[in-house]
A and B are shown apart, each in its own frame.
Chain A
Amino acid sequence: MNHEYTEPSQDRQQWLSLMAKTPLEDLKDQWTHCLKTTQLIPENIEQYAQAIRPIQTGLVQVRGRMGGNGNRFNVGDMTVTRAAINCEGFQGFGYIAGRSKTHANLIALLDALLQNPQYQVVLQSSLLTPLADLRHKVLQTNVEKTAETRVEFFTVVRGED
């Protein structure tokens, strides 16, 4: 059984991005929690997954734009790790910034499971939603901390006129 993806999935785009931006520890914790509480996905599910290609660390050339929106230019590289697995006929891919093979591999596994209609609903509610909440909280904290440094400058008139 092999399921080809026919059109770019907005959901898939979202979950791959969310999981890549979630720190590995948080992702692992939530995944373990999800396995224990839902009892739907076998705990040894990883054993059913085969690597499509070896996990690999390499570089992605980061591009910027002159003045923020003009012509493109190369800023520099960043380390990126990618994994590709097949699990029960679904192909999963994991791409993350950095060099954590565990992180990339876990995302690839979860990407495959998330495409599986059998698990999708459960994973959406017990994995993705909590992760999105967590990320929202972290971002909020940063916003609030920075907002405390918001400054109002006053110009003071000097001289007689």
Chain B
Amino acid sequence: MLEMLVVPLRYGFFVAALFVGAATALIAALLGTHLTFKGFSMIGDGLSHVGFGTIAIAVALGAAPLQVAVPVVVLTAVLLLSVKRKLTDAAADSSVAMLSAAGLAAGVIAVSLAGTNFDLNSYLFGSVLAVGEEEVVPILMLCAVIFAVYLVCYPAFFALTFDEEFFEAKTHKATLFRALLASLAAACVVVGMQSVGALLISALLIFPPSAAKHLARSFRGTVVLAGVFSVLCFVVGLFLSYHLSLPAGGAVVLTNAALYLVCLLFGKLKK
């Protein structure tokens, strides 16, 4: 049993994937808690598709993928959340769906233009085990910055999520913090695309808080538990993918789904 845990850790690529994936899973769960309970669950899906399209276009043009994708996706997130504020929920859902489809379509066309230089699968389904050593430190630093900003802004994010009208009356900064939350989420989505891919990143935002809310009583408890669940599911999923020769992204997401079902049942039994 112990050997099953130790053997993969002998490989540098596995350790790198463990650190990068766990850090990404943690910030995705923290930010996802706010997005989920604010009714923005699907925004991760829309943004990841925009990220995919942007990366594909960047590759087709010979530019650095992540350096182009991060600002474009951040800008899209800010615009999307501003639009949602002004439109009805139905129209906002449509705007996320349209953006999602347009992003994917742009990506598909760019991929055909980029030819064989673009690894479609790695961006669609993730390739955390292929994260290069030179990418580990920048990704961990970005995650650390997002985590620090999140901790500092937690009270504002809570108030914004719980009652935006009250928060705006109290601080007159709802738009600013909404944009900040959107920017952090967008950066998280772009980084997370490396771990589980564009098609599965929204799972890291939605599953952990949805599972945690069945066990925690408070919002802070939900945030902490979602973070713990997310990291735990990533680690378990990664080990499962290694030993069962499964795609890492899929294994991580299914582990999250299994934990969600367990928490859902536990929550029902508790009531």
Q: Do A and B bind each other?
A: no
Binding site for B on A (CB under 8 A): none
Binding site for A on B (CB under 8 A): none
